[in-house]
Structure 1
Amino acid sequence: MTSIFVRSLIFNVLFYLLLVFWILVAVPTFVLPRRALIGVAKLWGRSSIWLMRVVCNTRVEFRGLEKIPQGPLIVAPKHQSMWETFALLQFFDAPLYILKRELTWIPFFGWFLIKADMIAINRKKGGRILMEMARRASEEVNRGRQLIIFPEGTRTAVGAPPHYKAGVAQIYVDCDVPCLPVALNSGLFWPRRQFMRYPGTIVVEFLDPLPVGLTRREFIDTVSELIETASNRLIEAGRKEQAELFGRVPSANVPAAAPTVAKRNIGNQ
């Protein structure tokens, strides 16, 4: 595990240096169309994936790419790690994120978020946030963008009970476009709020798109069932790979209890 710690240290240092490099490269895009900035962001994502493979021996497998629809879309990935926030950018022409307003205050990085027309929300507005998010998301998606929104709202540790939010269902209804569920197991290799980066294979699986016209309850029940079932399958395969590599599963990736689809939480939204 000592070598994994050293590799993780090297990766984390190089990852943020790489981010600074791409921020500098992107400076001229302030006076160019948005697609130029998005192009640089995609290069950042690809180069970060490459860096993790070279330094940490963490490979990536993308499945179901043929299922990604063209045009306006809601993308609903499982959220276990920071990794998917940049790794999925490369597959969409006009990606859109909903993020907390405070991120736009970060020099350069935040300015790029504004330039990219991301949706920054003020969490102090309380219940009014949902209406604001749904309105802005609908406007941007109807312009042909792909909204990448994490249905659980925040990163969830591997093995933790899922808790899908009502907001994503409202946005789905208001946008009136298909939704692409995405399963993954990134949290095994880039654990939430941890320093370590583990070798192995991150698997991302694009699932069958959900059509327009579902009710909010139908949408939440369906998207949660699809994502959790597929993600649990990928996590189990990832744990087997880690056991073969290390002789055991790293303690950070051993759940307190077997993961399940949290129907009770979903129903209470």
Structure 2
Amino acid sequence: MKAIWFVRSVLFALGQVTTLVLFSLVGQLTRPFSFKARYQFMHYWAKFCLVWVRWTCGVKYRVHGAENINPKEAGLILARHESAWETLAFQAIFPRQAYVLKRELLKIPFFGWGMALLNPIAIDRGAGRKALNQLVKEGSARLQQGDWVVVFPEGTRMPAGELGKINIGGAMLATKAKAPVYLVAHNAGSYWPKNSFIKKPGTIDVFISAPLDVAEMSAAEVNQQIENWLSQHLVTTTSSVAKEETAQPE
């Protein structure tokens, strides 16, 4: 079984890397245009990868709570981070968005060049308060411009079923920007694990909350909401993986 997973993962990687080089190079021609135009071109790479990983590795997904998304008003997405999968999938699930990411990622050949076209909020995680202020300032500006913003409150990818420390940055941005806040949980790490080359077949469950009104909440209260919601849905997503594995033939 693992040998088959490896071969299928090799096929996925070949398609992913080849198209990444193509999109990142051709995408440089879109630099003179608006972010909307650049995003419109580059996000097709993410959509291709979602289709390609389904065809090659059998990794599918289903969304619970898609009806909660209001495309007419830019929202702040505070999401669980387990793998590279969600950075691709959110581009298919949500309207045009900007990511908060480590500045070093933009230095990676091809990948970083492509990400730079997507107007990210690139922070120096070692800069402390300065990085926090940058997140709040640039995140608020993106939301006012009508772009959604994605923040991973745990700050780094976590193993499936394990909740990390919830950092304050996303909550501070939420209280400052007064934009609708969507909490998102999923179990992508069960099928596309952190730092793993092999992708396992299965269906990723994505849970999207109703938009939270944080106008009267403190950052600490928002953080508690995030922690409670993610903790609750970690149980649900872990359970769904167990049921799917039990149902699969030996």
> TM-score normalized by structure 1?
0.85
Sort the Cα spacing of 1:194 and 1:112 in 2 relative to 1 into closer, same or farther, 3 A: closer
Other-structure match for 1:261: none
Matching of residue 236 in structure 1 with residue 239 in structure 2: yes
Inter-CA distance 115–197: structure 2 relative to 1 (3 Å threshold): closer
2:6 is matched by which residue type in structure 1?
A: F
Which runs of no fewer than 5 residues in structure 2 stay unpaired? none
Q: CA offsets per residue over residues 63-109 of structure 1, 9 Å max, x none?
A: 22110123221001111111001110123433011112222233454
Q: Structure 1, residues 16-73: CA drift from partner, whole Å, max 9, x if none?
A: 1222232234232122222122112321111111111111112211222110123221
SS in 1 for 2:100: strand
String of CA shifts for 1:149-208, please: whole Å, max 9, x gaps: 111111110122432111111111111111001111111100011111001111112111
Report if the CA contact (8 A) 1:78-1:182 is conserved. yes
- Quote the Cα distance in structure 2 between the aligned partners of 1:85 and 1:225: 23
How many Å separate the matches in 1 of 2:80 and 2:135? 20
Pair 232,16 (structure 1): closer, same or farther in 2 beyond 3 Å: farther
Assess, with a 3 A threshold, how the Cα gap between structure 1 residues 52 and 19 changes in structure 2: closer, same or farther: same
Q: Indicate if the aligned counterparts of 1:185 and 1:234 stay in contact, CA closer than 8 A.
A: yes
- Whether the 8 Å contact between 1:58 and 1:200 is mirrored in structure 2 is yes
Judged with a 3 Å threshold, the aligned counterparts in structure 2 of structure 1 residues 227 and 38 are, in CA distance, closer, same or farther, namely same
Q: Match for residue 125 of structure 2?
A: 123
1:195 to 197, 210, 218: 197
* Distance in 2 between residues matched to 1:80 and 1:125, nearest whole Å: 24
Q: Which residue of 2 aligns with 1:52?
A: 53
**Is the 1:81–1:192 contact (alpha carbons within 8 Å) kept by the matching residues of 2?**
yes
Q: Percent identity?
A: 30
2:40 paired residue number:
39
Structure 2 counterpart of 1:130, one-letter code: L
Quote the offset at 1:147 in angstroms: 0.6
* Residues 30-109 of structure 1: pairs in structure 2 closer than 5 A: 30-69=31-70, 70-109=72-111
Query: 21-30 vs 236-245, which deviates more?
Result: 21-30
Q: TM-score, normalising length from structure 2?
A: 0.91
Paired residues, what number? 247
Q: Distance in 2 between matches of 1:42 and 1:89?
A: 6
- 1:246 is displaced (CA, Å) by 5.5
SS of the aligned residue for 1:31 comes to coil
Find the aligned partners of 1:18 and 1:243 in 2 and give their Cα distance.
Answer: 35
Which amino acid counterpart does residue 112 of structure 2 have in structure 1? G
Residue 126 to residue 217, structure 1, CA distance change in 2 (3 Å): closer
Task: Write the mapping of 1:226-265 to structure 2, written as runs, cut at 5 A.
Answer: 226-245=229-248, 247=250
Q: Is the 8 A contact 2:214 2:222 kept in 1?
A: no
Larger CA deviation: 209-218 vs 171-180: 209-218
Give 1:178's aligned amino acid: P
Superposed CA RMSD in Å reads 1.8
| Alpha-carbon separation, structure 2, partners of 1:52 and 1:91 | 16
Q: Aligned pair in 2 of structure 1 residues 161, 109: CA closer, same or farther (>3 Å)?
A: closer
Secondary structure of 2:248's match? Answer: helix
Other structure's SS at 1:88 match: helix
Equivalent position of 1:5 in the other structure: 6
Counterparts of 2:192 and 2:6 in 1: how far apart (Å)? 13
